[in-house]
Protein backbone atom coordinates (compact mmCIF):
# COMPACT_ATOMS: atom_id res chain seq x y z
CA UNK A 1 0.00 0.00 0.00
CA UNK A 2 1.71 3.19 -1.18
CA UNK A 3 0.52 6.40 0.41
CA UNK A 4 1.45 9.70 -1.19
CA UNK A 5 0.96 13.07 0.50
CA UNK A 6 1.79 16.62 -0.36
CA UNK A 7 3.97 18.36 2.25
CA UNK A 8 0.86 20.17 3.55
CA UNK A 9 -1.17 16.96 3.79
CA UNK A 10 1.67 15.17 5.58
CA UNK A 11 2.07 18.10 7.97
CA UNK A 12 -1.65 18.04 8.82
CA UNK A 13 -1.61 14.24 9.24
CA UNK A 14 1.36 14.37 11.61
CA UNK A 15 -0.09 17.28 13.58
CA UNK A 16 -3.21 15.17 14.01
CA UNK A 17 -1.12 12.22 15.22
CA UNK A 18 0.82 14.42 17.67
CA UNK A 19 -2.43 15.98 18.86
CA UNK A 20 -3.93 12.56 19.55
CA UNK A 21 -0.86 11.23 21.32
CA UNK A 22 -0.47 14.30 23.53
CA UNK A 23 -4.18 15.01 23.95
CA UNK A 24 -3.83 18.64 22.95
CA UNK A 25 -5.64 20.62 20.27
CA UNK A 26 -4.11 20.76 16.81
CA UNK A 27 -4.19 24.57 16.96
CA UNK A 28 -1.55 24.47 19.70
CA UNK A 29 0.90 22.58 17.47
CA UNK A 30 3.20 24.38 15.02
CA UNK A 31 6.30 23.18 13.14
CA UNK A 32 8.89 25.06 15.20
CA UNK A 33 7.76 23.60 18.54
CA UNK A 34 10.02 21.06 20.24
CA UNK A 35 8.13 17.84 20.83
CA UNK A 36 9.53 17.14 24.29
CA UNK A 37 10.49 20.57 25.63
CA UNK A 38 7.58 22.64 24.29
CA UNK A 39 4.79 20.07 23.93
CA UNK A 40 5.72 18.06 27.06
CA UNK A 41 5.85 14.69 25.30
CA UNK A 42 7.15 11.80 27.34
CA UNK A 43 8.77 8.62 26.06
CA UNK A 44 5.45 6.74 25.94
CA UNK A 45 3.91 9.60 23.95
CA UNK A 46 6.74 9.39 21.42
CA UNK A 47 6.28 5.63 21.23
CA UNK A 48 2.55 6.16 20.62
CA UNK A 49 3.36 8.65 17.83
CA UNK A 50 5.82 6.22 16.27
CA UNK A 51 3.34 3.33 16.26
CA UNK A 52 0.56 5.52 14.88
CA UNK A 53 2.81 6.82 12.11
CA UNK A 54 3.78 3.24 11.29
CA UNK A 55 0.16 2.08 11.16
CA UNK A 56 -1.32 5.03 9.32
CA UNK A 57 1.49 5.57 6.83
CA UNK A 58 2.66 2.01 6.34
CA UNK A 59 6.20 2.63 7.59
CA UNK A 60 8.46 0.52 9.76
CA UNK A 61 10.43 2.82 12.07
CA UNK A 62 13.22 1.33 14.16
CA UNK A 63 13.34 1.92 17.89
CA UNK A 64 16.18 4.44 17.77
CA UNK A 65 15.66 5.71 14.23
CA UNK A 66 14.39 9.17 15.26
CA UNK A 67 17.55 9.71 17.30
CA UNK A 68 19.87 8.27 14.66
CA UNK A 69 18.36 10.35 11.86
CA UNK A 70 17.62 13.63 13.63
CA UNK A 71 20.37 13.74 16.22
CA UNK A 72 23.19 11.31 15.53
CA UNK A 73 26.21 12.26 17.62
CA UNK A 74 24.28 14.81 19.67
CA UNK A 75 23.92 14.92 23.40
CA UNK A 76 20.46 14.21 24.79
CA UNK A 77 19.97 17.93 25.39
CA UNK A 78 20.95 18.80 21.83
CA UNK A 79 18.62 16.13 20.47
CA UNK A 80 15.68 17.41 22.49
CA UNK A 81 16.32 20.87 21.08
CA UNK A 82 16.37 19.53 17.48
CA UNK A 83 13.41 17.12 17.86
CA UNK A 84 10.73 19.48 16.61
CA UNK A 85 7.43 18.98 14.84
CA UNK A 86 9.22 20.12 11.69
CA UNK A 87 12.04 17.58 12.10
CA UNK A 88 9.43 14.83 12.55
CA UNK A 89 7.69 15.97 9.37
CA UNK A 90 10.99 15.99 7.46
CA UNK A 91 11.94 12.57 8.85
CA UNK A 92 8.59 11.07 7.85
CA UNK A 93 8.66 12.69 4.42
CA UNK A 94 12.12 11.18 3.78
CA UNK A 95 10.98 7.75 4.98
CA UNK A 96 7.94 7.88 2.66
CA UNK A 97 10.18 8.81 -0.27
CA UNK A 98 12.58 5.98 0.55
CA UNK A 99 9.68 3.54 0.84
CA UNK A 100 8.35 4.64 -2.57
CA UNK A 101 11.73 3.79 -4.13
CA UNK A 102 11.74 0.23 -2.79
- DSSP helix/strand/coil, 84: strand
Residue 1 lies in a domain: no
Question: Is residue 102 pLDDT above 80, yes or no?
Answer: no
Distance CA 80, CA 84 (A): 8
Residue 80: what pLDDT? Answer: 86
CATH of the domain at 54: 1.10.1200.10
Residue 29 lies in a domain: yes
Residue 3: what pLDDT? Answer: 59
Residue 76: what pLDDT? Answer: 83
Q: What is the pLDDT of residues 4-61, one digit of tens each?
A: 789 999 999 999 999 999 999 999 999 999 999 999 999 899 999 999 999 999 999 9
Question: Is residue 1 pLDDT above 50, yes or no?
Answer: no
The pTM of this model reads: 0.88
Number of domains, the chain: 1
Q: Is 88 exposed, middle or buried (0-12, 13-18, 19+ CB in 10 A)?
A: buried
Amino acid sequence: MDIQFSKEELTQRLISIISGALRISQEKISPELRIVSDLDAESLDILDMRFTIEQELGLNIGEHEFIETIGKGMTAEEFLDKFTVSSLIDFTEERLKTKALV
